[in-house]
C-alpha cells in the first residue's frame, strides 16, 4: 500500500454526480486548490450495506466540515449512472437520497489505482492500460488533502470496517490547528486542547511553504 502522505494527491478528471442529481464531466479536485481542504474518500460499491452508512454519516456532518473550509468528495468504481440511481433511492430502502456532496465515478479504475486503494487482480500493459482478471473495487480509503493539494493524512480500511467520521473531523481540526498556530498535536488531541511547540526543522520547513 503506497503512502501518499507528504506528496501531491494524484490528479484526475472524471464524471461525477453533484448536488445529489446532476451528472457532470471532467470533475476534478483542482477546483479546491488554494481554497479548501478536501476529504476524498473511497467506498467499495453502490447498493451495499456498510457503504450507505458512511455516506449518510458524512452528509450529516457536511455543514460542520464546510464551516471549517473542507470539501467532502466520495468515489467508487461504479458508473455515474449507478451513483445517480442510488441517490434517488430513499435511505429507508438502502439508498443515499439526500447526499449532496460530489460522488466521483472511477469507471476505468485509474483513480483508485493511483491512490493505491484498488483491490483485485490487475496489471498494466505496455501501453499503460489497466487490464483486469477479476472484479475491481476500492478499499475504504480516506485522504485529507490540504489547500496546496498535498496529502496530510490517509487511512485505509478493509471492506467490513466502516470509518469514523468523528475521527476524520478530529484530523481536520488537528491540521487546521497546526497550520494556524504552528503547534503539533499529541496523542488523543482534540479541538480545544493545547498543542506542543516543536522546533524541529521539518515543522519550520512546512510552515515556510504554507
DSSP calls for 114-140: HTT-EESSEEE-TTS-EEESS--EE-E
Least confident of 109-118, 169-178, 201-210: 201-210
**Enzyme catalytic residues:** 51
Q: Give the per-residue pLDDT at 70.
A: 98
pLDDT surpasses 70 at 207: no
Cα-based distances in Å from 41 to 112, 134, 138, 187, 194: 10, 23, 10, 24, 29
Q: Distance (Å, rounded) from C-alpha 203 to C-alpha 65?
A: 25
pLDDT for position 193: 82
Q: What is the CA radius of gyration of the chain?
A: 18
Whether 210 has a pLDDT exceeding 90, the answer reads: no
pLDDT bin (cut points 50, 70, 90) of residue 1 is low
Cα(first)–Cα(last) distance of the chain, in Å? Answer: 28
d(CA 154, CA 36): 17
- Give the model's confidence band at 117: pLDDT under 50 very low, under 70 low, under 90 confident, else very high: very high
Q: Is the pLDDT of residue 143 over 70?
A: yes
The Cα–Cα gap between 75 and 186 comes to 31
More confident call, 86 vs 186: 86
Cβ(54)–Cβ(163) below 8 Å: yes
Residue 72: its pLDDT value, please? 98
Query: Which of 65, 58, 27 lies closest to 41, judged by CA?
Result: 58
Q: What is the pLDDT of residues 189-200, one digit of tens each?
A: 888 888 888 655
The C-alpha cell that represents 147 in the structure block: 489547500
Element at 198 (helix H, strand E):
none
Q: What is the pLDDT of residue 182?
A: 87
Rounded Cα distance, 89 and 100, in Å: 13
Q: Domains along the chain?
A: 14-162 (3.40.30.10), 164-210 (no CATH)
Would you place residue 209 in the very low, low, confident or very high pLDDT band (cuts 50, 70, 90)?
A: low
122-124 and 140-145 beta bridge pairing: unpaired
- As a whole number, mean pLDDT of residues 76-88 equals 98
Amino acid at each position: 500500500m503506497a503512502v501518499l502522505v507528504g506528496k501531491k494527491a494524484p490528479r484526475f478528471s472524471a464524471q461525477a454526480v453533484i448536488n445529489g442529481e446532476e451528472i457532470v464531466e471532467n470533475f476534478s479536485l483542482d477546483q479546491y486548490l488554494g481554497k479548501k481542504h478536501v476529504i476524498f474518500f473511497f467506498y467499495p460499491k453502490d447498493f451495499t450495506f456498510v457503504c450507505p452508512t458512511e455516506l449518510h454519516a458524512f452528509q450529516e456532518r457536511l455543514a460542520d466540515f464546510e464551516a471549517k473550509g473542507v470539501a467532502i468528495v466520495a468515489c467508487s468504481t461504479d458508473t455515474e449512472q449507478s451513483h445517480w440511481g442510488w441517490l434517488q433511492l430513499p435511505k429507508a430502502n438502502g439508498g443515499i437520497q439526500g447526499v449532496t456532496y460530489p460522488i466521483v465515478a472511477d469507471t476505468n479504475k485509474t483513480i483508485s489505482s493511483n491512490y493505491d486503494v484498488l483491490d483485485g487482480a490487475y496489471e498494466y500493459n505496455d501501453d499503460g492500460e489497466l487490464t483486469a482478471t477479476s472484479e475491481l473495487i476500492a478499499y475504504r480509503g480516506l485522504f485529507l488533502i490540504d489547500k496546496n493539494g498535498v496529502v496530510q493524512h490517509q487511512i485505509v480500511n478493509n471492506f467490513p470496517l466502516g470509518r469514523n467520521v468523528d475521527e476524520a473531523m478530529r484530523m481536520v481540526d488537528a491540521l487546521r490547528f497546526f497550520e494556524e498556530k504552528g503547534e503539533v498535536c499529541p496523542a488523543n488531541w482534540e479541538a480545544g486542547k493545547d498543542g506542543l511547540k516543536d522546533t524541529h526543522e521539518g515543522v519550520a520547513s512546512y510552515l515556510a511553504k504554507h
